[in-house]
Structure 1
Amino acid sequence: MILCDDANTNIYYHNHEALGRMIANLVKVIGEDELIRLTGGSNASIKFIQQLE
């Protein structure tokens, strides 16, 4: 679903360690170049959001 052109995905994380694990898992699933494409620029369709306690 996150690869669909019309999809916008918010990924929530608790701390930087968790963020690193999530990024590593996404790289395994969709590849580094695709992750960079989907998270970069003003039209990013994947956004990482830190949960505040």
Structure 2
Amino acid sequence: EVLKSPDILTNVLNSRPTTMQDWPQEQRQQVLALQSALLRRGYRVAH
């Protein structure tokens, strides 16, 4: 689903842990899980 939406994919790839500090925990966990899956597929994720 994320791969089909370039805007969402870009946001997930560019989200940094420092930016996510103020986010709700559930949203932060979802983005981190997506980033982990994308890393395994060879995508570059912001750190």
TM-score bracket, normalised by the shorter chain, equals 0.3 to 0.5
Name whichever structure is richer in helix by fraction.
2
TM-score when normalising by structure 1 = 0.35
Larger Rg: 1
